[in-house]
Amino acid sequence: MLVELRRYSVLAGQMDRMHARMRDVLLPLFRQHGVPEPFAIWSTDQPEACVMTWMLKWPGLSERNATWAGFRPVWESAKKARGGQEFVTRTDLTLVDAWADATLAFPAGANVCESSWVVQPKVGLGAAFRAASLAGRCRAFIGRGALNVAASDFMFGPLPQSLVILSWADDSSRDLGVSILQESLGDGIAGEDLELRSTLATPGIWLPLTRASYLPTWELKTGP
């Protein structure tokens, strides 16, 4: 089983159009042409980052490559038929390997939201980073109010690199928790998370993630 991570940078002020494209065009086309429905879709709509992030699962690499190859002309035709100025400025995609003890599933809840942390552990310290992140049920994260930790390692691109997705009860919990984490894990900041911080090459990039409510098949975490 392969997990694909796709991130679309969007022109400022155009995220509503990106959601309409996903909801009204892409999801129906996926169902018609054998593309697995994403199990998570988020948006980040800020002046410094306007990004849609989504994830989907494939049974294998050959199926993924063949399906996208067949889907590409379908999508190009649909996009041409809709017309209008293109609002996606960049597409980043990779395959990720989910951590066994922090699977890519997310808690249910009306106000639950996420934050992403894309971070590079030091070379040779990827396993130490995972161990420190998961120690004491991820005390660095749960202790700051996170409800859940889902994490994976990038399989392509600058390596080692990991994606940690934290779920929060609401936006205010997320904003407070992330600000504390950024301070405690940042370069040159004294904090109690020394074991985790010592494995990092950089403080990483944090982004708030808002769930797309129209996705009918969110992969939800049912237990602790």
The residues spanned by each domain of the chain are 2-96, 97-212
The answer to whether 2-96 and 97-212 have equal CATH topology is yes
State pTM to two decimals: 0.93
User: What is the reported pLDDT for 192?
Assistant: 55
User: What is the reported pLDDT for 123?
Assistant: 95
Architecture of domain 2-96: 2-Layer Sandwich (3.30)
State both tokens at 153. 């390692």
Q: How far apart are CA 10 and CA 44, in angstroms?
A: 10
Per-residue confidence in pLDDT tens, the chain, 224 aa: 899 999 999 999 999 999 999 999 999 999 999 999 999 999 999 988 999 999 999 999 999 999 999 999 999 999 999 888 999 999 999 999 999 988 999 999 999 999 999 999 999 999 999 998 887 556 789 889 999 999 999 999 889 999 999 999 999 999 999 999 988 887 655 455 778 888 999 889 999 999 999 998 898 876 55
User: What is the reported pLDDT for 220?
Assistant: 87
User: What is the reported pLDDT for 187?
Assistant: 61
User: What is the reported pLDDT for 163?
Assistant: 97
Domain 97-212 sits in CATH 3.40.605.10: no
